[in-house]
Amino acid sequence: MPNVDKMYTYLRGYFIGANMSQSISALQFAREHHEGQTRKDGTPYIVHPLSMACYAVALGLRDDNVIATILLHDTVEDCGVRPEYLPVSDTVKRAVQYMTIVKFDTDLDKIETKCRYFNELLNNREALICKALDRYNNLGDMPMNFTKDAMGKNVAETEVLLLPVLKKAKEKYADLADILFILRTNISTLNEAIKVQCYDEYTRWSYIYKREDKNEKA
């Protein structure tokens, strides 16, 4: 299991050295508000945003807004924090809101809205990078925490909705082109590896997502 204290100390030292004031505040805020939360496998939930932030730093990402978004991306949804109370800029608050899952009445409502969401994701730089890192991190945990149906759904969603957006993003955000290429390649590779474990479920969900995405773009 990852050592939370070591990850926290490493990131805090890095942020101080890089003068990333928002990320310093976000790091402390996230740790305090995720305290006591665990994933299905028993891992402390804070490991998820910390792992995402560590990977972002390893990729060479130095954007304070993006890193702060990564650290706070689940605090509104999972901790009951109102966006206006986040200790960051309005840019980060908007990105965190963008990352927050809306509850739906039916699966079809959720799918339709997700298709729209991913098509609009290109317009929010911070949320786009955060979503890519979030998906990469979650894909690695899926075999331990997800049912086959949930795995198939996420693999299909990644292939049909997220990867095409990341490809387009390389053109829009030229300064992030290398990072986006690495993320897209790594996500695609991991997605293919998981697909073989839930191929029937993936096939069913892929058809649904492609149909709804086509309707959304019509």
Domain boundaries, the chain: 1-100, 102-218
Superfamily of domain 1-100: Hypothetical protein af1432 (1.10.3210.10)
pLDDT at 78 over 50: yes
Mean pLDDT rounded to a whole number for the chain = 93
Q: Which two tokens stand for residue 103?
A: 């509850």
Angle, helix 125-145 to helix 177-195, in steps of 10 degrees: 20
Nearest to 191 by CA among 164, 168, 215: 164
The first and second tokens of residue 212, run together, are 């709804």
- The phi-psi region of residue 102 (left if phi > 0; otherwise alpha if psi is between -120 and 50; otherwise beta) is beta
pTM over 0.75, yes/no = yes
The encoded tokens of residue 146 equal: 């997800």
List the structure tokens of 62. Answer: 């130095």
Name which of 149, 5, 126 is nearest 64 in CA terms. Answer: 126
Residue 81: strand, helix, or coil: coil
Q: For 88-141, write each residue's pLDDT tens digit.
A: 999 999 999 998 865 544 565 678 888 888 988 999 999 999 999 999 999 998
